[in-house]
Structure formats: structure tokens, C-alpha cells
Structure 1
Amino acid sequence: MTFLPDDLYAQIEQSMPIACVDFVPVRMTPEGKTEVGLILRDSPFGEVWCHLGGRVNRGETIVQALRRHARDTLDVDLAIEPNAQPDYVYEWFPPDIAPTDGTTHGDDPRKHAIGLSYVVELTGTPAPRNEALDFAWFPIDRLAASMWPGSDQLIHLLVNQQPG
């Protein structure tokens, strides 16, 4: 894998959208309630809870990117088919270029990103590492108080589209 120098990658982030994968682990409680798995991480907004994900590398399929981020962040795999299609496509914008026409989007002061977003089941026991300071399950109707701006909206868009 070849990586770009930090200064060149920063220039690219400032010049074009970045292809990313976003995912929300979901499980059902014994009482039939939906819970979502979130990570606590450092961010431009301080320590916040959010969904998981990150960019897609050159030569990597979307599902390979999802699996890589699951391993790197939680040391788990995903129960997902090789050609799984996104449940939603969600955009992230820095405030200075964010749309004002009613487009649904999240806030990311670092870059404009296009997030191919998935609801997933984890295989294994989550063990937070790298960017994940912690991992916890939250009832869909009681997400964490301190969330990455837009992450809660993405979670509700994803989970409310799921059957059941």
C-alpha cells in the first residue's frame, strides 16, 4: 500500500470529495429493542460518540474497506456479503461549503466526504483501539448526549429504513 505524504493528502482533501464508508453496528435486545454500537473518539468537536468508518483505499472494495475499519477500530469482523450495497449515501461537509438548500448532511470541518453508509452486524466482541477510545451499545431512542454533529441523524436515517 502506497500512502501519500501528509501535505499532499491535505491538499487533496481541500480540493475534492473523499470516498468513505460509514457503518452502524445494530443488535436486538432480548426485549426486541434496537441498539446501535457507537465509538467514543477525539474529534474537532472534542470527545464525541459516533458511528464507525473512514476512507476507502485505492484498490480496495467497499466491503473490504468496511471490514478493515471494523478490524482496525474494534478488532471484529462484519457479517456482510461481498457485494453489499449501501443502505444510505450520506454527505459530510466543512461549514464553509455546506449546502444551504435543505440537503441532509453531517459536519466535518476536515473534508467533504461521501459516505456509503451501512447497517451491519458484528462478529466477535468489540475491543476499542486506535481511534476508538471506547465502545458502547445505545438504545436507538437514547443515543449519547455528546455526538459528532450529523452522526445521530445518519443513525436514524439508517435504522429507520431497516425492516422490523
Structure 2
Amino acid sequence: MTFLPDDVYALIERSVPIACVDFVPVRIAPDGRREIGLILRDSPFGRVWCHLGGRVRHGETVVGALRRHARDTLDVGVMVEPNAQPAYVYEWFPPEVAPADGTSHGVDPRKHSIGLSFVVDIEGDPMPQNEALDFGYFDPAALPEPMWPGSAELVGVRQRQSTAFS
């Protein structure tokens, strides 16, 4: 796979939205409630909890990107169909171009991205690595703090639309 030089990629990030996958592992806790998995990571906001994911590479399928990010971040597999469709689409904006029309969105000072958001079951025991400093499962009504600006809203959007996180 060919990678772009850092300066070229930075120009692209400043110029066009980047396609990304966002995903949240889920499991059933011993008490029968559904829990969501989040990673702790260093970020432009300091050390924060957030969902998993990242960009889709040229020539990579959306599901391929999900699998790569799960493997690279937690050393696990994800159980998804080859043509899985996102549960939700959520946008991320740098503050200087964020919409002021009431559109729900997350904050990412690095780039404008379009997150194809998935709820997934994982295969294996999560082993935080690379950007993940830690991993934990949480009750959706008691999310850890601090969180990446927009991650709690992303989970809340899904919570209002379905019972996936409750």
C-alpha cells in the first residue's frame, strides 16, 4: 500500500472530509445489561475516553477498515458481515468549520471526517495497544470522564435511535 508524504496528507485533511469508521464494541454484562467498550487515549484534548476507529485507506473496504482498527487497537477481531452497513453516520469537525445550524457533530481539531458508525461484537480478549492506553466496558448511563468531545453524543444518538446501548 502506498502512503502519502505527511505534508500532502495534511493538505488533504485541511481540504476535504476524510472517510472513517467509528465503532463501539458491546457485550452483555453478568447482570444482563448491555455495556459498551471504550478506549483511553492521548488526544489533542489530553487523555480521554472515546469510541474506536479511524480512517479508511484507499483500496480498503469499510469492513476491512473496521477489522484493521480493531486488530491494531485491541488485538481482537470483530464479528461483522462482509457488506455490513453503518448503524449511524456521525460527522466530526474542527471548530473553525463546525456547522452552526444545530447539526449534531463531534469535535476533531485535526480534520473534518465522516464517521460510518458501527456497533460490533468482538472476538478475543481486548489487549490495548498503539493509541489505546486502556480499554473498559461501561454502562451507557455511566460513561467515564473525560471523554473526547462528541464521543458521548455519538453513543447518545445511537441510544435514542435504538436499544443497542441500553
TM-score band w.r.t. shorter chain: over 0.9
Offset, 1:101: 0.3
Deviation string for 1:97-141 (max 9, x for gaps)? Answer: 000100000000000000000000010000000000010111110
Deviation string for 1:20-74 (max 9, x for gaps)? Answer: 0000001111222121100000000000000000000011100000000000000
The equivalences for 1:6-21 within 5 A come to 6-21=6-21
Offset, 1:163: 4.2
What CA RMSD, in Å, does the superposition of the two structures yield over aligned residues? 1.0
Greater CA deviation, 152-161 or 42-51?
152-161
What is the number of residues matched between the two proteins? Answer: 164
Name the structure 2 match of 1:113. Answer: 113
The answer to whether residue 50 in structure 2 is matched with residue 42 in structure 1 is: no
> So what's the TM-score if we normalise by structure 2?
0.96
Name the structure 2 match of 1:158. Answer: 158
Please say if residues 118 and 158 of structure 1, whose CA atoms lie closer than 8 Å, have aligned partners that are also in contact: no
Give the 3-state SS of the residue equivalent to 2:67 in structure 1: helix
Once residues 30 and 76 of structure 1 are traced to their aligned partners in structure 2, the CA distance between those partners, rounded to angstroms, is 21
Greater CA deviation, 17-26 or 152-161?
152-161
Once residues 32 and 159 of structure 1 are traced to their aligned partners in structure 2, the CA distance between those partners, rounded to angstroms, is 17
Note the residue ranges of structure 2 that are not aligned, 5 or more in a row. Answer: none
Name the structure 2 match of 1:30. Answer: 30
Give the 3-state SS of the residue equivalent to 1:91 in structure 2: strand
Segments of 4+ moved more than 2 angstroms: 158-164
Note the residue ranges of structure 1 that are not aligned, 5 or more in a row. Answer: none
Name the structure 2 match of 1:73. Answer: 73
Letter in 2 for 1:41: R
Please say if residues 119 and 159 of structure 1, whose CA atoms lie closer than 8 Å, have aligned partners that are also in contact: no
> So what's the TM-score if we normalise by structure 1?
0.97
The answer to whether residue 138 in structure 2 is matched with residue 138 in structure 1 is: yes
Once residues 27 and 125 of structure 1 are traced to their aligned partners in structure 2, the CA distance between those partners, rounded to angstroms, is 12
Once residues 163 and 154 of structure 2 are traced to their aligned partners in structure 1, the CA distance between those partners, rounded to angstroms, is 17
Once residues 163 and 97 of structure 1 are traced to their aligned partners in structure 2, the CA distance between those partners, rounded to angstroms, is 32
Name the structure 2 match of 1:104. Answer: 104
